[in-house]
Structure 1
Amino acid sequence: MRRRPWRRTFFVDLFLLLFVLLLVLFVLRVAFIGGDAEVRVKRSAELPLRFSSDGGFKILQVADMHYGNGLVTRCRDVLPSEAARCSDLNSTLFLKRMIEAEKPDLIAFTGDNIFGTSATDAAESLFKVFRPAMESRTPWAAILGNHDQESTMTREELMSFISLMDYSVSQANPSGFVVDGYGNYDIRVHGAWGSGLANTSVLNLYFLDSGDRAMVGGVRTYGWIRDSQLTWLHTISEELQSRYPAPALSFFHIPIPEVRDLWFRGFVGQFQEAVAFSSVKSGILQSLSSMGDVKAVFIGHDHLNDFCGKINGIWFCYGGGFGYHGYGRVGWPRRARVISAQLAKGKKAWMGVETIRTWKRLDDDKLTKINEQLLWSNDYLPSGTLYV
């Protein structure tokens, strides 16, 4: 009877087992890691968003980033001396500078985040657009413009992807509602810690999808906010106001037709191009006015307009063109808008929102601050007061 060579069999089996394990790990790395990326879950912002210990909450609006492919995507409408070295990276640098200078509590990207025809891979371009926000660990929210879907992803895919990115508080659509578009959601900002409103939303933010392009009567036009979206907006506004009468701000991309009339009514800032809107006059202005809580609306789309004007008691404010691959005007700096809400100070703790202000910063050597103004106040200050 021959003895079984158990030592050799044991070591052979052990070697084969280790080899298989190493092979599996290698396959997993190649399949799921791909370079220096990591396999991990989304890094989430701390929710709910809330006012800081100094009673402030600041929002940075980024309108019309128009990102392409990064370094190889050239700038438009810049000085000849700037053109040779100017690319999408200038947009990225501007965003990093704004985050460092203003230290916002939320960044609101209001559409045309990527310029679809220039972005060969939508997902890759989106990562480049939002990377400064993610790296700074700043909560951010995004909606779509009329160009985002022109690359390799549909609007539904874009909003789903955006909602899954690090520190994004964006949503594809509200649960329990059937609404048109993708990117209709609300964000609630609670009072400061230690106050009686720490568990209450004292500032409400409404994000809406204004669409991209549409055919109406055989004529091509821009999108608009539909009735189903307005129904949801009314419902959520009534629900929130029944809990606490907080002021609200709204964000969408394409302006409404009434914004054009501000040319004759007066405005703060620059009105340098025709307002591009849908031929369909939706009921958004009437809805916002009847709700009563929305104090200001922030839009994009027209890069050369950066003004604020008041319509039916509501301020409509352009962000101004932010991105360098979007059209601009030679010698007119790219810019960003900042919205700052401040709580009222009680005898022992912070109370509700007292003021909402806004200003813009230019992408120059000093990030020059311009057109600071009061949009809304809960006290005696007259709305529209200029501070600069």
Structure 2
Amino acid sequence: MRVDVVLLLYSSWILGACVLVSGADRILRFSEQGTFKILQVADMHYGNGASTGCSDLTATQMPFCSDLNTTAFVRRLIHEESPDLIVFTGDNIDWAASDAKVSMDAAFAPAIESNIPWAAVLGNHDVESNLRRPELMEYIAQLKNSLAKVIDPPAEGVYGWGNFYHSVLGPAGADTENLSLLNLYFLDSGDNSKLPGIKGYDWIRRSQQIWFSNLSQKLRAASSAPALAFFHIPLPEYDTVLYRDQISGRQLEDVYSAPVNSGFFSTLLESGDVKATFVGHDHINDYCGKLMGVHLCYGGGTGYHAYGRVGVERRARIIVATINEEVQGHIPNISTWKRLDDTHMSKIDTELLYSKASEVQPLFRTFAYRKGCSWPWNPFKYPQGKCTFWASVIYTAVVTLLSIFAFMSGFLVHRHRSKKLLKSDYKPVSTTDSKVID
């Protein structure tokens, strides 16, 4: 074989390998069936693999559990759901990782080996190993099939590492194959506050919000596609939404957001295209709540090294966008559900998040299992400080009936006394019996 032919083939192989190394240029698009499915994996907290133990399991489960259980669960999720995109929403590794690169390779291995495009943002614990945030995101961005970027589109002075977006185009061969039908925003919510005197978690900064607003305006000018946003630390509004009725899933711990409200939720409302946000951070919260037209959703904790609660299965969230052009043109419906790491990979809390046709209620909803609910008259509280919607309804009904009974009892007693008084010998003083003084 000629040397130049060999060199040409070798160069082609090298080029192909380079294309496989990074997925940054891969095009996301809806399937021929008109669907696009996202698997959200939150809070793996990967350490050193088999040598890293698990948290909050039963005494019989604990000795046999390690990071490998997290890996096995993510593989099962990929096999069960066959997603078009996998999104890791932060705290992918933590302090237990001796070498951040080695641990990230293992944590993202199920996504890498599946050949499915994936993206990741950073959480507050990712920096606890031996790499800083810039180095972490630069490494993630160059991994095989990774769609993560340090920043895209580029802009000067934008805080954070991992502010980027991707558009999902219409099905190949369709009229919309070059049109974005769904936009995905990814933002770096930081780790801890950098301001002196303010302790607690970080927040999405003003420079990021300006970057987001400019990008959103550009995308909305190109199409009317709805959008989803992914980041790690929940907004303060994740707590606000708990006092609304439209909640599905569980709240088993407090909302640990930043100590200050940066106003990013207002920025989302002003943009108008984001229909739902998806976060991690609080592992045993997995609810979705609708606030002013935007759904605020937790993914639920996936990792076994991360804290959880005994008896509460690890879980992950699925998001599906579906096009039905006969009903609503090119604008997709967006629905979601969760999968549990149990024997049957149980599917729970299916609900419709967005539809152009109308404002909708969840297709199926389990009322939120809440910690410290704020219902009228302080509802029943079950062990571990949790209360349920129906307990609140029953308690309110009981108190209402008791109030009605007390009122009626008082009314009847008053009426009885009035009748008794009328039957007595008491006679009012007449005006003729009174002395008139000139």
The two structures share one fold, judged by TM-score above 0.5: yes
Counterpart pick for 2:267 among 261, 276, 287: 287
State the alpha-carbon separation in 1 of the partners of residues 353 and 160 from structure 2. 29
How many residues of Structure 1 are paired with residues of Structure 2 in the alignment? 347
Shift, 1:73, TM fit: 0.2
Residue pairs, 1:17-96, within 5 angstroms: 41=18, 43=20, 44-45=22-23, 47-96=26-75
Secondary structure at 2:181's aligned position in 1?
A: strand
Question: Once the two structures are superposed, what CA deviation does each residue of 1:151-207 show, in whole Å capped at 9, x if it has no partner?
Answer: 011100000000000000000112430210000000110001121110011100000
State the alpha-carbon separation in 1 of the partners of residues 211 and 101 from structure 2. 29
State the alpha-carbon separation in 2 of the partners of residues 359 and 291 from structure 1. 26
Shift, 1:385, TM fit: 3.3
Question: Once the two structures are superposed, what CA deviation does each residue of 1:46-68 show, in whole Å capped at 9, x if it has no partner?
Answer: 72100001100000000101000
Secondary structure at 1:84's aligned position in 2?
A: helix
Shift, 1:280, TM fit: 1.6
Structure 2 gap ranges (5+): 1-15, 367-438
1:318 aligned partner: 298
State the alpha-carbon separation in 1 of the partners of residues 169 and 203 from structure 2. 30
Q: CA RMSD in A?
A: 1.7
2:420 aligned partner: none
State the alpha-carbon separation in 2 of the partners of residues 351 and 50 from structure 1. 16
Distance 1:237 1:375, change over 3 A: same
| AA in 2 matched with 1:41 | C
Counterpart pick for 1:240 among 219, 224, 231: 219
Shift, 1:380, TM fit: 4.2
Counterpart pick for 1:370 among 336, 340, 348: 348
1:173 aligned partner: 151
Judge conservation of contact 1:354–1:379 (CA < 8 Å) in 2.
no
1:190 aligned partner: 169
Question: Once the two structures are superposed, what CA deviation does each residue of 1:308-342 show, in whole Å capped at 9, x if it has no partner?
Answer: 00112100000001000000001100000000000
Judge conservation of contact 1:195–1:351 (CA < 8 Å) in 2.
no
Counterpart pick for 1:257 among 232, 236, 254: 236
State the alpha-carbon separation in 2 of the partners of residues 273 and 114 from structure 1. 22
1:21 aligned partner: none
Question: Once the two structures are superposed, what CA deviation does each residue of 1:103-149 show, in whole Å capped at 9, x if it has no partner?
Answer: 0000000000001x100000000000111101000100000000001
2:114 aligned partner: 136
Shift, 1:40, TM fit: 5.3
Shift, 1:346, TM fit: 4.0
State the alpha-carbon separation in 1 of the partners of residues 224 and 27 from structure 2. 18
Superposition TM-score, scaled by structure 1 size: 0.86
| AA in 2 matched with 1:320 | G
Judge conservation of contact 2:350–2:362 (CA < 8 Å) in 1.
no
Shift, 1:354, TM fit: 2.8
1:4 aligned partner: none
Judge conservation of contact 2:232–2:279 (CA < 8 Å) in 1.
yes
Structure 1 gap ranges (5+): 1-38
Question: Once the two structures are superposed, what CA deviation does each residue of 1:68-115 show, in whole Å capped at 9, x if it has no partner?
Answer: 000000000011111111000000000000000000000000000001
2:431 aligned partner: none
Shift, 1:217, TM fit: 4.5
Judge conservation of contact 2:198–2:259 (CA < 8 Å) in 1.
no
1:163 aligned partner: 141
Shift, 1:297, TM fit: 0.2
Relative contact order higher in (CA < 8 Å, ≥ 6 apart): 1
Return structure 1 stretches of 4+ with deviation > 2 angstroms.
39-42, 44-47, 383-388
Judge conservation of contact 1:337–1:358 (CA < 8 Å) in 2.
yes
Secondary structure at 1:153's aligned position in 2?
A: coil
| AA in 1 matched with 2:206 | D
Counterpart pick for 1:305 among 269, 285, 289: 285
| AA in 2 matched with 1:295 | K
Shift, 1:220, TM fit: 1.7
State the alpha-carbon separation in 1 of the partners of residues 73 and 329 from structure 2. 34
| AA in 2 matched with 1:77 | D
Distance 1:228 1:379, change over 3 A: same
Distance 1:387 1:278, change over 3 A: closer
> Does 2:186 align with 1:207?
yes
> Does 2:197 align with 1:218?
yes
1:32 aligned partner: none
Shift, 1:387, TM fit: 6.8
Judge conservation of contact 2:301–2:316 (CA < 8 Å) in 1.
yes
| AA in 2 matched with 1:184 | N
> Does 2:124 align with 1:146?
yes
| AA in 2 matched with 1:124 | V
| AA in 1 matched with 2:162 | G
State the alpha-carbon separation in 2 of the partners of residues 224 and 300 from structure 1. 14
Secondary structure at 1:81's aligned position in 2?
A: coil
> Does 2:304 align with 1:335?
no
2:436 aligned partner: none
Based on CA coordinates, which of the two structures has the bigger radius of gyration?
2
| AA in 2 matched with 1:206 | Y
Judge conservation of contact 1:160–1:171 (CA < 8 Å) in 2.
yes
